[in-house]
Amino acid sequence: MRIFSSLLIGVLFGIGLTISQMINPEKIINFLDIAGNWDPSLLVVMGSALLTTMIGYRLAFRRKDPVLGGVFQIPTKTAIDRPLVIGSAIFGIGWGLAGFCPGPGISAASVGGVMPWAFIGAMTLGMWSRSFVKA
């Protein structure tokens, strides 16, 4: 049940990405290109997602435990450390070059030809490479 619900929730996330065209790198790069023909759509996507999540989390956390069992797994780290800042900066460079972040890259792979697969392959290597970096 937890696994099946996770599949449906992933589908919902992906439908959101698809409808908002966040799986189109051209649209992401036009958002990031503030000196060019700026497209603020991503801000609206993020804003509405944030608003929904803020309200929904408040309601969800009235419960002691998740509906399907287990515990709420919330990150406990609070320190602003070097890996956080350096990692995020590296992530942003990659995002600007590829026009994909992880979610849209995966969704685009089912309809977008070979480029999203190249992205996913490289991202996988990048994730593995993390184990060899000390920061």
Partner 1 sequence: MENFTPVSAAIGGTLIGLSAVLFMLLNGRIAGISGLVAGVLTPSEKGNDFWISGAFVVGLFIAPLIVMVTSDRPPINFPQPLWMVVVGGFLVGMGSRLGSGCTSGHGVCGIARLSRRSIIATLTFMISAVITVFFVRHVMGG
**Contact track, partner 1, 70-109, x by CB under 8 A:** xxxxxx-xxxx--xxxxxxxxxxxxxxxxxxxxx-xxxxx
Six token digits for residue 75: 């990150």
54 binds partner 1 (CB under 8 A): yes
Question: How many residues belong to the site for partner 1 (CB under 8 A)?
Answer: 116
Contact call for residues 120 and 106 (beta carbons, < 8 A): yes
**Contact track, partner 1, 14-43, x by CB under 8 A:** xxxxxxxxxxxxxx-xx-xxxxxxxxxxx-
CB of 20 to partner 1, least distance (A): 3
What sections of 1-135 are H helices per DSSP?
2-19, 25-32, 41-60, 82-98, 102-108, 115-129
Six token digits for residue 62: 């009235």
CB of 38 to partner 1, least distance (A): 6
DSSP-derived letter for residue 38 is: -
CB of 83 to partner 1, least distance (A): 5
With CA atoms as reference, report the closest residue to 102 among 8, 28, 2, 9. 28
> Cβ-count burial of 100 within 10 angstroms (0-12 exposed, 13-18 middle, 19+ buried)?
buried
**Contact track, partner 1, 112-131, x by CB under 8 A:** xx-xx-xxxxxxxxxxxxx-
CB of 55 to partner 1, least distance (A): 8
64 binds partner 1 (CB under 8 A): no
CB of 76 to partner 1, least distance (A): 10
